[in-house]
Amino acid sequence: MVLRLFIFLAFLCLPFAAKADVVQLRGFIWGVSKQDVRQYEQAVFWEEGDDYLRFFEDAGGYRRVIEYDFRGNRLWRMHYDYRELTPPNPDIVMNLYYDQQRALSSLYGEPSSDRMTGRSGRSVRVRPENWGRFLYGGDLRLVSVLNILDTRITLQAYGEGQGFYKLFYTAEKMEREEDRTRQILNLPGQE
C-alpha cells in the first residue's frame, strides 16, 4: 500500500519537474522551428524575412509587434514592442510598464535588476513627482531584467521626445561564453 502511494505521488511530481527546466514565451521554447512559430502563433501575421517572423496584436487599444528571431531556423530571441505609443499623458506609459513588469514577474519571478536612470546615467528615483516629465522629455529610462534558467528578459520604457515613447521587452537565449583562452596567440605546441 505504501509503495502504491509513493508511486502515485512520484507520478504527480513528474510533470511539474519537467516544466521547471524550460522557459516558455507565448507558448514557444528556445530552438523551435520557424515553421512551427508561423503555424501556431495566434497573433496576426505581418512579415517574414530570412531569419525573422513578425506578427501584430491589438490589445487594450495599443498595437504591438511580436518579432521572433531565428538562427539556423531555430528560435533564439523574441521581441515584444508597443508601436506608435503616443498617449496624452506619460503616466499612462509608466502604468503600462509596471503592468507589463507585474505580468512578467507573475510568470517568471521577480526581476534580478530593476533600475531607473536619467539621460546622464544618474538615478532619478529621488524625484517621483517629476518622473512623467522626465519620461516625456526622454530624460528617464526604466529597465527591468529577469534571468530565468537559460533566458534573459529585458523590459524597457523611455521617451523619445515630443510625446513619442518606446515600451518593449526582449527575451533571448543566454549562451555560455566559449573558452577561447587556448587559441588567443596560436603558440607552437597548442593543439
pLDDT digits (tens, 9 = 90+) for 23-39: 888 999 999 999 999 99
| 3-state SS, residue 174 | coil
Q: Give Cα separations from 56 to 45, 47, 79, 80, 181 (angstroms).
A: 6, 9, 12, 10, 44
- For the whole model, what pTM was predicted? 0.74
| Span 166-189, pLDDT tens digits | 888 999 998 754 444 444 444 444
Tell me the pLDDT tens digit for each residue of 118-157.
776 666 666 777 788 888 888 888 999 999 989 999 999 9
Which domains are seen in the chain, by residue range? Answer: 23-84 (3.30.200), 85-168 (no CATH)
Q: What is the spatial distance between Cα 180 and Cα 191, in angstroms, rounded to a whole number?
A: 13
Half-sphere exposure of 71 (CA within 13 A, CB side): 8
